[in-house]
Structure 1
């Protein structure tokens, strides 16, 4: 944890991140590893204690790999168990809850194929430990009450009467975002602002030993739309309860909607109520203030898209702020955050809403491996099997490492695949260059892979590459070598 007084004394903040949920922590972690001085402000006195967002999709697992926390996540997570359907106290069938039980294991291009279950509080603990381990800063018990901004930065006004100034401020403070309200940005409904009118209860609880097995995700459909599901949470002795009910008495809800009794609930560790909504902010940026995660889009929990879309917001934004603040890229680069992420958020909101209403099954789209930025403001060209904006596939390298090992870190990767085309000599610390023999998922060509793992530029020849790279720094490329004095840059 960080003393707010020490921050005030040093005055050294580049980016203020409001909210220490998965979005804010992932963003601060990405910024910190880039050498950007980030500070997370969290109104609560500690990290969020509940399991709410418990599913991590395959694309998010790739993001967490790059951020250096995948090992800890895999150690404390598990594949989703098969759903067991109950009626009148008897199991009557089974159901694949995430629609991925029949998916094969890892492939060369996709090292993660199935979602993993892990309680949100544990994901946050892992991100927090990594962030603080590399010198990142989180200040708890600090409430933002308002803000002002000018052409040079943002002044954040705090509840204790003090003010902090930063070059940028990012709202990661949830669906009821104080920052978004201070900016006057409205939320608009996607597929109907209220996904379903019925109130829902979510809780973490412990059951009497033997009350339910931990090998299944237990589902209890009832009459007139009544519903409860009790899922074991990996790495804990807890279960998560989700129920359609107005009652907030967890033991009573368990007794009413399942064959268990109230006495089978040994402990209620956390509980919250909500109404499923789908809404998106009218814009994700106002000057030097940006919205990310639930502050920008609110999802139904169905389909497990909310936390995942939010962490990927942070992953998209972090490298762009880093290029502006550390490498002299034009501030207009930050505009591409809204341009790229708003369509993705709208797509995922629509998906989670349709899943909640039973109009669509969970499937490939929910794994988010097919998301990309084709046609976006930073996508230019095509070559071989890929088009700019596509996710850059993983794959084996001759030395036993993998492409994702090559991509891991806060840099761009200039990848020449199956071609002898001469590459411009790159004189930028944020670009690494590598040649490899032909690899079918890429085909033949030159690919500039962005720090977030998407192809930014692609071509059969490097024409236009220098101009493209110059968008990301004050001076990205040195002059081409004189004939006979230099050659292709190699890792």
Structure 2
């Protein structure tokens, strides 16, 4: 059997999602992890709305939603008191809308999250190879030689050297890939701010709430794994000097908890994992060197505030996955891969700015003895629905960027815009079919660009079809969207024709009825172009394919 084309080193969420993207695109992968057992622990549990949308397009969302829950309220307590002094929400829940069906973050423990992703990989005949550590690699013009050490359950080791076409390091902030590439990792480490983290069984607190006790400069927080779970993740900061520079033990945590909270009615069971953390805010200056890439924590790390890290990591590989698939299959120039760094570094820089400001606000507030609601407010830009690739060399923008716009800025003007997320629309009915109504997120694909054709006449659409016909079928597909009540003519040129029966697509995209608008949606759910005819479609794809 031929060796897989791509090696993914690191099997956290970013590595798993990248493997899914590539496999769905028909590219073979090998995904390894140095751990001999799958990691346990809730760790990064927040899944933001933009990531939920990506999971919808990937067709894995139902399993994620079934295993997770909306973010619960947060209760704060005075020492010794059983009733909360205040209950607040990190963000006010938003109502679903046809263009934004997943407006609120979900909470799912990271180990359960990864288990679901691995199950979807197994459906594609791919499994994570545990106990396999990438020690080093050598890069050549046409391949990468990876030196891997495999450790079995008895501790026996076997060394191998294997050739791959590409290597992606999703091996975390301490991984070997970024270090061997010699990439900078600029930023800061808050040496003085240690945070103890872990998962522990807790009895005597409501799992439907997050719980916080604050005695400046100390803060103790308990976050449940779900509304019916007695396993809580704890976060403890402001520890005494004797405990600061070490991993806290279960017994030390319990002693500190009782000292801060005065709540000896709360009891504890086993601790499943314990960790010592110092906030790092760092990022690379490049995410690709030749045939080797970094993504996720290997490329950027951040403060824990804001719930952006795991989500940014997943969106890294969504950006990379479709581009790498096209280049690997010989359908696009290798220069397309340069746009991975071009597009993502701008977003990551803004993410670090936002999360660091939020971290500073939160801990300044805590240090001053306050627990004002503002310090805990999330939502807004942190939902990640405004993340964009404005200024990208492969986006055919139809508007000038707004003055002061950032990588997290929302689009404006009430219409779809290139470089931003492609909105959803429900109530779409297949013309001539008997299927139930569908949505745009169900129509979008991670394996091809989707051209949405709004309005225009048959001549306009035929010209677009002529242009599309020049490109490989696996690169692009066309969907014709008919206004509410309109039927398709005999000479329709799209393989899929949908009636916008409830009017959400035309309204949500802000497009006219009387002339053609072609919206090109990339496999990562980003709008690559909004153009008025075949010439614009051709100009866009000249940026993408050979």
TM-score (norm 1): 0.89
Paired residue for 2:14?
A: 23
1:262/1:278 CA distance change after superposition, 3 Å: farther
Distance 1:367 1:262 in 2: 37
Q: Deviations over 1:175-213 (max 9, x none)?
A: 112111111212101xxx1257210011111113xx111
Say whether 1:48 aligns with 2:39: yes
Match of 2:121 in 1: 131
Give the distance between the partners of 1:262 and 1:152, measured in 2 at CA: 64
1:94 to 71, 86, 90: 86
Q: Does 1:167 align with 2:129?
A: no
Decide which of 95, 109, 112 is 1:105's aligned counterpart: 95
> What secondary structure, in the 3-state scheme, does the structure 2 residue paired with 1:24 have?
helix
Q: Which residue matches 1:153?
A: 143
Q: Where do 1:26-41 residues align within 5 Å?
A: 26-41=17-32
* 2:235 pairs with one of 205, 227, 242: 242
1:136, distance to aligned residue in structure 2 (A): 2.0
Helix, strand or coil for the counterpart of 1:379? coil
- Pairing partner for 1:14 from 5, 27, 34: 5
Paired position in structure 1 for 2:55: 64
Q: How many residues align?
A: 457
Equivalent pair of 1:195/1:357 in contact (CA under 8 Å): no
Looking at structure 2, the residues matched to 378 and 236 of structure 1 have their Cα atoms a distance apart, in angstroms, of: 46
CA distance in 2, matches of 1:240, 1:273: 13
Query: 1:78-123 deviations in whole A, cap 9, x for unaligned?
Result: 1111111011222343343422xx3332111111111111100011
Q: Choose 120-129 or 61-70, whichever is displaced more.
A: 61-70
Alignment equivalent of 1:442, drawn from 499, 506, 509: 509
Q: Which residue of 2 aligns with 1:486?
A: none
For the residues of structure 1 that align with 2:229 and 2:328, how far apart are their CA atoms?
Answer: 41
Structure 2 CA distance, aligned partners of 1:71 and 1:25?
17
- Taking structure 1 as reference, are residues 130 and 398 closer, same or farther at Cα in structure 2, changes over 3 Å only? closer
The answer to whether structure 1 residue 338 and structure 2 residue 336 are counterparts is no
Q: How does 1:142-291 map to 2 (within 5 A)?
A: 142-159=132-149, 160-189=158-187, 193-195=188-190, 197-208=192-203, 211-223=204-216, 225-234=217-226, 236-244=229-237, 245=239, 246=244, 248-249=248-249, 250-261=253-264, 264-291=267-294
**Is residue 463 of structure 1 aligned with residue 493 of structure 2?**
no
- Tell me how far apart the structure 2 counterparts of residues 386 and 217 of structure 1 sit (CA, whole Å): 38
> Matches of 2:444 and 2:44 in 1, distance apart?
27
Indicate whether 1:82 and 2:73 are aligned. yes
- Report if aligned partners of 1:32, 1:135 keep a CA contact under 8 Å in 2: no
Coordinate RMSD, CA, aligned: 1.9
Structure 1 distance, partners of 2:87, 2:326, is 46
Please tell me whether the aligned partners of residues 391 and 453 of structure 1 are also in contact (alpha carbons under 8 angstroms).
Answer: yes
What's the CA shift string for 1:356-396, capped at 9, x where partnerless? 11166423110000001122122103288232111110012
Tell me if the contact between 1:320 and 1:333 (Cα under 8 Å) persists in the aligned partners. yes
Counterpart Cα distance in 2 of 1:12 and 1:257 = 56
Match of 1:365 among 381, 399, 405: 381
Give the equivalent residue in structure 2 for 1:484.
Answer: none
Inter-partner Cα distance in structure 1 for 2:272 and 2:236: 16
Helix, strand or coil for the counterpart of 1:161? strand
Q: SS of the residue aligned with 2:144?
A: strand
Shift of 1:451: 0.4
- Candidates 523, 527, 538, aligned match of 1:451: 523
Determine if contact 1:327/1:472 at 8 Å carries over to the other structure. Answer: no
Aligned to 2:109: 119
Structure 2 gap ranges (5+): 150-157, 363-374, 400-413, 430-436, 484-505, 512-516
Match of 2:355 in 1: 352
Matches within 5 A, 1:400-439: 400-420=437-457, 421-422=460-461, 423-425=464-466, 426-427=468-469, 428-437=473-482, 439=506
Kindly indicate whether the alpha-carbon contact (under 8 Å) linking 1:302 and 1:356 is maintained by their aligned counterparts in 2.
yes
* Moved >6 Å (runs of 4+): none
Q: Is the 8 A contact 1:374 1:387 kept in 2?
A: no
| Contact 1:207 1:266 (C-alpha < 8 Å) held by counterparts | yes
Q: Given the two structures, how large is their TM-score scaled by the length of structure 2?
A: 0.80
8 A Cα contact 2:21 2:446, kept in partner: no
Q: Unaligned regions of 5+ residues in structure 1, if any?
A: 1-9, 475-491
